[in-house]
């Protein structure tokens, strides 16, 4: 960034070096997040109908277990809504290395959001360091205020979680808008 701003290598401050590091890290995390999100979507598209049914059944099984834990349910209600296709749990891999390889593959499929969060955090941190180190106070305060104003929205999406009443209230509010924003 120092070269972009017209600074020579000797004139570059530690703050500008930190900005460079944060921006480049943010760029790598964001690019890898986009790439892995595409690969994850493609992998899910290529599942066979049997694998899709198994995936949906596994999601439903874990969802029902979560409901039982959060509601302290003592009995299972098979008529609770969606019918769950029958499935068998895959046999555990016999070797530790193969199990570790499966964990690695699974993490590769669900890590894009984490990488995106890291990338955005690095880039926002770089912007803030740059604004506070190189600009007037009014610019730094304005940028900090803008970041503080928009950060609660993505955070809110992560905080929705699995509480049924909250999710139903959100669905009701969204349905009132009928897709019009």
Q: pLDDT tens, 76-90?
A: 445 445 444 455 556
Q: Which domain holds residue 57?
A: 14-134
Q: pLDDT value at position 77?
A: 45
29 within domain boundaries: yes
Residue 167 has pLDDT above 50, yes or no: yes
Is the pLDDT higher at 49 or at 11? 49
pTM summary value: 0.70
**Angstrom distance (rounded) from CA 71 to CA 94:** 36
58 within domain boundaries: yes
**Angstrom distance (rounded) from CA 82 to CA 60:** 9
Q: How many C-beta atoms lie closer than 10 Å to residue 167's C-beta?
A: 12
Total domains present in the chain: 1
68 within domain boundaries: yes
């Amino acid at each position: 960034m120092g070269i972009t701003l017209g600074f020579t290598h000797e004139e570059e401050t530690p703050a500008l070096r930190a900005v460079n590091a944060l921006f480049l890290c943010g760029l790598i995390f964001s690019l890898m997040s986009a790439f892995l999100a595409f690969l994850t979507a493609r992998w899910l598209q290529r599942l066979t109908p049997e694998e899709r049914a198994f995936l949906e059944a596994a999601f439903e099984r874990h969802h029902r277990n979560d409901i039982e834990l959060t509601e302290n349910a003592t009995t299972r209600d098979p008529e609770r809504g969606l019918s769950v296709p029958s499935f068998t749990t895959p046999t555990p891999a016999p070797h530790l290395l193969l199990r570790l390889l499966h964990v690695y593959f699974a993490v590769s499929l669900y890590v894009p959001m984490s990488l995106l969060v890291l990338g955005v955090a690095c880039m926002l941190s770089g912007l803030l360091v740059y604004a506070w180190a190189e600009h007037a106070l009014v610019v730094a305060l304005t940028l900090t205020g803008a970041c503080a104003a928009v950060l609660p929205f993505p955070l809110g999406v992560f905080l929705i979680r699995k509480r049924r009443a909250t999710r139903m209230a959100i669905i009701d509010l969204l349905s009132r808008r009928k897709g019009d924003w």
